[in-house]
Amino acid sequence: MTRPPLDLVPAGEPADPLTHNPLNGVTGGIWRTRRDGRPAVLKLITPPGGDGDVGPAHWAASAEPGHWNYWRREVEAYRSGLATTAWASAGQAGPAVLAVRDRPDGTVALWLAEADGRPGTAGTVGDFGELARRLGAAHADWLGRTGELSRYDWLARDWLRDYTLSRPVTEPVAWDHPVAVAAWPAPLRAALRGLWERRRELLAATDRLPRTLCHHDVWPTNLVLSDGGPVLLDWSFVGPGPIGEDAANLVLDTFFDGLVDVALLPEVADAVLAGYVEGLRGVVDPVLVARAVRLTGAAKYFWLAPVMLNRAGGATGQTYDRRDEAAMFAGRRPVLELLAHWADDSLP
């Protein structure tokens, strides 16, 4: 959908499409526009089976409130005030809500104030370290309080497990596919295979970590670096989860998607870990915090290498552009090596 429906944005008003995951059936479109004379962002939320819910099955919208991709979660997060207040004590918030409109076709129009500041994709090593410190402080504030979340029946029930186990891996995985052999040394392929084979052990280990309130999608595309502190966008996955997960995701998603020069990976990883440990200092043992980041990072992406190999071999019904395939496998190698190292450090 290149423009929003005319009942939301008249033809004469600006409506610039914003980048989002087009596979996710929950999102019908996002636009930068205006509302009541002020800059605004309009997000169209689509119910299961709606016109926007036409992507692959593993990105389908769900009508089940506890499901990892429950279609109304972000609407409820803003209506309840959770998105804008939950982490306010740590100087983090979601954008202000301007309006929420349930439409006759079943979709929901979510109007948010446009946050002023630099996009997260322009963040520096220092910016990511400071965000991680605030994440740690926010997570510390919710430790021991997750029982308070029981009044929100729309929160993700067990996001990390439900999301990761829903990724479409076809076995047997071709671990010795030529593109993998060329890009990934044998020890790395063996480590990634072990990561996949121990996936349930990884998830079980995350269950033993302290629980807090997680955003579940912290990465530069969902971040605005404002003068008043970082603003986090897209609260559609919010729910209880293990400490470490949001910090780990910040590191991994930043580089898996090529948003920052991969040469900065060691610096960003160190800064995020140090910042997150500092935010939880005095509340959780720093050794446990560091292990939690590594463990949840490994648990979040045990499926990625198998999916890449499935696609390279045509098992998904899709294939990479051969001109890009080798570059992608090689480009992700440093991040996958970090992932394997994290798994090795966090599992016995």
pLDDT digits (tens, 9 = 90+) for 42-87: 999 999 986 656 678 999 999 999 999 999 999 999 999 999 999 9
- Give the pLDDT of residue 34: 93
pLDDT digits (tens, 9 = 90+) for 159-173: 999 999 999 999 999
Largest CA distance in the chain: 61
- Give the pLDDT of residue 171: 94
Residue in this structure with the two tokens 């998105």, named with its chain if needed: 83
The band of 12, judged by pLDDT with boundaries at 50, 70 and 90, is: confident
Q: Has residue 133 got a pLDDT over 90?
A: yes
Which residues, other chains included, contact 172 with Cβ-Cβ below 8 Å and sequence gap of 6+? none
The band of 324, judged by pLDDT with boundaries at 50, 70 and 90, is: confident
- Name the β-bridge partners of 308: none
pLDDT digits (tens, 9 = 90+) for 258-296: 999 999 999 999 999 999 999 999 999 999 999 999 999
- Give the pLDDT of residue 238: 98
Of 20-24, 150-154, 187-191, minimum mean pLDDT range: 20-24
Rg (CA), the chain: 20
- Give the pLDDT of residue 323: 65
Classify burial at 148, counting beta carbons within 10 Å of its beta carbon; exposed 0-12, middle 13-18, buried 19 or more: exposed
Closest CA to 237 of 94, 110, 67, 9: 67
Q: What is the mean pLDDT of the chain?
A: 93
- Give the pLDDT of residue 318: 56
CA dist 166 and 179 (Å) reads 25
- Give the pLDDT of residue 93: 86
Q: Has residue 244 got a pLDDT over 90?
A: yes
**Category of 168 on φ-ψ map: left (φ > 0), alpha (ψ -120 to 50) or beta:** beta
Q: Has residue 250 got a pLDDT over 80?
A: yes
pTM, whole model, 2 decimals?
A: 0.94
Contact 27, 43 (CB under 8 A): yes
Tell me: cis bond preceding 185? Omega within 30 of 0 counts: no
